[in-house]
Structure 1
Amino acid sequence: MTMDSFRALVVDKQSDAFDVGIRELRMEDLPEGDVTIRVAYSSINYKDGMAATPGGRVVRAYPIVPGIDLAGTVVASSNARWREGDEIIATGYELGTARFGGYSEYARVPGDWLVARPPGLTLREAMIAGTAGFTAALSMQRLEANGLKNAAGPVLVLGATGGVGSHAVAMLARAGYEVTASTGKASEHDYLRGLGARHIIGREALMPPEGDRKPLRSEQWAAAIDPVGGASLPYVLSTVRYGGSVALSGLTGGGEFPATVYPFILRGVNLLGIDSVSCPAHLRALLWSRIGGEWKPERLEDMVAGEVALDELPEALPAILKGGVRGRTIVKVS
């Protein structure tokens, strides 16, 4: 296979020098793998913003091409599962942190990391979902596996205007759940209602008054999807109904939280860790079929905050770390 050079966003760190910029690469610069992909779309996730920051601490070795997800077309394969022309999705594993990721016109990955594009999604739609939508779907699957049913009561979604939160609101509503969305952005209530939220509460409603450390409060939520973590998590745990669960997938609100054992031993509350990075292949395929099927949001396009090209990534990436992005920013790679 002979191909000309191609463009990629490369992050490099050498001694005290840190650089983020577009470079020309060749096929031999790509890591080993049995499937080569022409990347059509990627997206901007919180971890991508961290990868492009000197103190982000998510990159294992430099130089790196960030982009923890991608959608594109197979151009070469020695893997029996994939043939030239297949349209695929890749999220998680080591993409964008230890292996060159999606911010590149071409990528090379192990075939076992790939999922076939489901019929219900275009490549662009697959990246409107991307890692954020997959994380929301995995959260739903874990909640349902732990007993959540439609009639159980309201389901709380924290950080509801973010990528995971937006998809969680829309997917839960599509599946018939009563969704309460939490946000600190009063200007985004119409957006959340459009996604299917029945109730909207402010972020401050989940923060107890200073000095209030009650281990249990009135039961409110049948379950919660929390991509935020931090100080609000103990309050959420103290208000989940008997036997309910909290699916925790993020740390935008902080990596530590004070808690007690009481919600767990007196109400049987479950705290479910959601890891979309190393999710087993069979479950990935199932969840992507649901994302493109019965859980596909009716207003998927409404979640797109913007679309950027590779050249715009150095300026676009820092915004997600500031918490000012609504929904999803997708990257049109090639």
Structure 2
Amino acid sequence: MATGTLTIDLDALAANWRALDAKSGASTETAAVVKADGYGLGAARVARKLAVAGARRFFVAVAEEGAAVRDAVGPNAPIHVFSGHMAGDTDMLGDLNLIPMLNSAEQMVRHLEALPGHPFGIQLDTGMNRLGMEPAEWAAVRDIALAQSPVLVMSHLACADEPDHHMNRNQLRAFKEMTDGINVPRSLSATGGILLGSDFHFDVTRPGIGLYGARPFEDAATVVSLDIPIIQIREVLAGETVGYGNTWEADAPTRVATIAAGYADGLIRAQGPDGYALAGKTRCKILGRVSMDLIGVDVSHLEEDPESLRLLGPGHGVDTMADAAGTIGYEILTSLGARYNRRYKG
């Protein structure tokens, strides 16, 4: 078989949720963000495992993502939709019992008219300028909104992965100014905010990326491993090149393994010059450009020719690959392609 094997360790996922739950404090509910198909790992399998671990509240990006999660966690678990109540969402929100996080007065009017009595939350903008009501808009509709009994009021931190960034305290202050005194559960923190400490936790935390084994949760257990079969190994002579554009030239005889994956499988093209694979614990440098379906790797220093090489795993996680590609672990996870043979553990 020429496709790679993507192994998803659900026990590690659950362990990461429990660790972040412990950091959130006994008085704070720890939810789980399972948007983007569970960060590329399969929303249904991920949500079901997290529910078994103890998660009782879930977040998705758009209403369409709610169907798989609802099937996985049953009829009663709250599922919040970050994008709020968009035009055309009414039937889905109602049928699946999803909770839109309303981002504007316009969305609030749409929701109250289309689904009177249906649960909703409010998202506030505390400085990120992405989603949510800004202070003036919130002040104008606050009394009306609170009279309709929202189930959650939230905001989102822009720089939580940088603990010393002044924006964190600025947003905390803004959130408290906008919400102190309301009788509604509050939520400010995703993974990074949890790690900032109890001042940021409020009533509900929303870990996302940390569940899946990536920064800023440096103590996270590894969730994803990716093993790619070798199609062919060849001897490349000094002066010969590998891959498109002749970007790598051998300065000595080199054994080059061609592995069966590329950017069509979510392996970022830019990682070529700085990326590597693993044979056991031995690093093997990627040679030349990552192409659509194939990557060249230097295996000259190995005592035996392996049948496969590992691109993700313990000690070489999504952040390592992301660093080589000049991106972030989120992009690596959510780009992992459909061609892999997916194997779930736990």
Work out whether the TM-score is over 0.5.
Answer: no
The structure with the largest helix share of the pair is: 2
TM-score, normalised by the number of residues in structure 2: 0.28
TM-score, normalised by the number of residues in structure 1: 0.29
Greater Cα radius of gyration, structure 1 or 2: 2
